[in-house]
Structure 1
């Protein structure tokens, strides 16, 4: 299986969608999308480890979205990560 995390996408690509974020998180957790915890559940409590978070950070940066490991670790839920990435994308294009 080819990982979307490993593919370099220039910052001028279309904005990252929530569905893409979900796929990236699933890859980082080595899960099928359907097996991910709910949007408000703590991803770390469900098995996401620091290496997975670093993979996610790398994938975001490849898409031109600057996020830090520490800020993702402070609030490790799908909903919070999507809010953060959405805000960063808005400020990137503004």
Structure 2
């Protein structure tokens, strides 16, 4: 299963308790409050759905545009 940019944005907004429209696609999500615990929450959620992603991949480039470009993540 692959994730769309909008799906990633929605999931990030959910773990940050923000409106998805307030989450940019191309900015560092750490600046919006994304921390290691929330990244692990996303990793676990997406792995349960069959997305092959690691904490390190997401933490190295914490931006939706970077994540959607990862092999096995983006649609």
Q: Please tell me whether residue 29 in structure 1 is matched to residue 16 in structure 2.
A: yes
Instruction: Determine which structure has the larger helix proportion and give its number.
Output: 2
- CA deviations over 1:18-72 (Å, ceiling 9, x no partner): 2211111111211111111x22210012211111101110111011012111111
Higher relative contact order (CA 8 A, sep 6+): 2
Q: What is the number of equivalent residue pairs in this alignment?
A: 74
Cα RMSD (Å) of the superposition?
1.7
Partners of 2:72 and 2:10 in 1: CA distance? 19
Unmatched runs of 5 consecutive residues or more in structure 1: 1-13
Task: Return the TM-score normalized by structure 1.
Answer: 0.69
Residue in structure 2 matched with residue 47 of structure 1 by the alignment: 33
Partners of 1:89 and 1:35 in 2: CA distance? 22
Task: Return the TM-score normalized by structure 2.
Answer: 0.84
Unmatched runs of 5 consecutive residues or more in structure 2: none
Shift of 1:17: 2.4
Give the 4+ runs in structure 1 shifted more than 2 A: 14-18
Question: Quick one: structure 1 residues 69 and 89, their matched pair in 2 at CA, closer, same or farther if it must change by over 3 Å?
Answer: closer
Q: Please tell me whether residue 60 in structure 1 is matched to residue 46 in structure 2.
A: yes
Partners of 2:73 and 2:34 in 1: CA distance? 24
